[in-house]
Amino acid sequence: MPMSRYAVFGHPIAHSLSPRIHAQFGKQRDIAVTYATVDVEPADLGEALERFAQQGGVGANITLPLKEAAYALCSQLSERAQRCGAVNTLTRVEGQWHGDNTDGQGLVRDLTGRHGLDLRARRALMLGAGGAAHGVAPALLDAGIRELIIVNRTSERADALADKLGMPKRAHSRYWEDLGSLGDFELIVNATSASRGGSDAFDLPFSLTNSRTLAVDLNYGEASIPFLAWARAAGCHDAVDGLGMLVEQAADSFRLWHGERPDTDPAYAMLREINPLLVTAD
Ligand SMILES: NC(=O)c1ccc[n+]([C@@H]2O[C@H](COP(=O)([O-])OP(=O)(O)OC[C@H]3O[C@@H](n4cnc5c(N)ncnc54)[C@H](OP(=O)(O)O)[C@@H]3O)[C@@H](O)[C@H]2O)c1
């Protein structure tokens, strides 16, 4: 019987922090964890997951750009994964992959728990409509935001996400080109990977913000600098990066695989030391 293995699949993936997070959780809970990284393109994901299962793979995290592809490969999906249309956690059950999505819960737990922020009644703007946006949108709506406007470089994906959410009175799509005429928001979430390509996507109008705006970047480390710098220049009240979400969603994946949720503070402190919040609002 091969050893139980865990891994994160993505492209690129070499710099993922997930192996360190799961190693910390395992040490804390006295559970031996073998957790690797697997670099794979979307078209090859099915084959790579089957190979992984043959080698003892029983649990996997899925990151960009594979979350929607992984959703399509699952034999069974949790209710929240179905609402998201994307998965970030796979569990091998009786020779099949079961999919779940812990991203949204991880984000909301970080914002409301660690940062003590109240999301209720906020008018929210989501930049991006990829796997991460799919993962967090239902949880933000459940957390009580008043309205969610989704804009994406490729507008059809924003339309598809808004349709999938199925709440025409609370979730809509708009064109990126129209950002200057959308009014102001109390929550702005950057769920794009734009900063990885050195683009000018964060030359955003300051009219999007007001004195209460919370700006959240799902990215962390250097990739969060452009959006958080914009948030600071625009005078946002709070600015948060995605490091806490990363740790919280990992803890929920750990619970799905090992049956217990670790304390996230030690892993968060360990990672914050090497990924300082480089740009903060006053
Ligand atoms: N902190 C965490 O735990 C956590 C969890 C999940 C994701 N993330 C981060 O969130 C980001 C998005 O991840 P994902 O899984 O959603 O990736 P994805 O599925 O590949 O989607 C990428 C998104 O970014 C947009 N985008 C890419 N380049 C852009 C540009 N130059 N200008 C404007 N938009 C651009 C894409 O728009 P198009 O549709 O037009 O291509 C799409 O909406 C990643 O950087 C990831 O690291 C963090």
CA of 103, closest atom in ligand 1 = 5
Nearest protein Cα to ligand 1, atom 1:
242
Q: Is the pLDDT of residue 194 over 90?
A: yes
Q: What is the pLDDT of residues 205-231, one digit of tens each?
A: 999 999 999 999 999 998 999 999 999
Q: Is 79 annotated as a binding residue?
A: yes
pLDDT higher for 99 or 281?
Answer: 99
Ligand 1 centroid to 128 CA: how many Å?
Answer: 6
Distance of CA 126 to the CA centre of its chain: 12
Residue count of the chain: 282
Average pLDDT over residues 164-170: 94
Which among 162, 140, 141, 159 is positioned nearest to 218, based on CA atoms? 140
Which among 233, 236, 151 is positioned nearest to 191, based on CA atoms? 151
Nearest protein Cα to ligand 1, atom 23:
192
Residue 278 pLDDT class (50, 70, 90 cuts): confident
Residue 2 pLDDT class (50, 70, 90 cuts): low
Per the annotation, the verdict on 169 as an active-site residue is no
Q: Is the CB of 23 under 6 A from ligand 1?
A: no
Instruction: Specify the pLDDT at position 4.
Output: 85
Alpha-carbon span 120 to 98, nearest angstrom: 32
Q: Is the pLDDT of residue 57 over 70?
A: yes
What domains, with CATH codes, occur in the chain?
A: 5-102+244-274 (3.40.50.10860), 104-242 (3.40.50.720)
Ligand 1 centroid to 119 CA: how many Å?
Answer: 22
Instruction: Specify the pLDDT at position 277.
Output: 82
Instruction: Specify the pLDDT at position 214.
Output: 98
Please give the mean pLDDT across all residues of the chain. 95
Q: Is the CB of 226 under 6 A from ligand 1?
A: no
Alpha-carbon span 79 to 100, nearest angstrom: 8
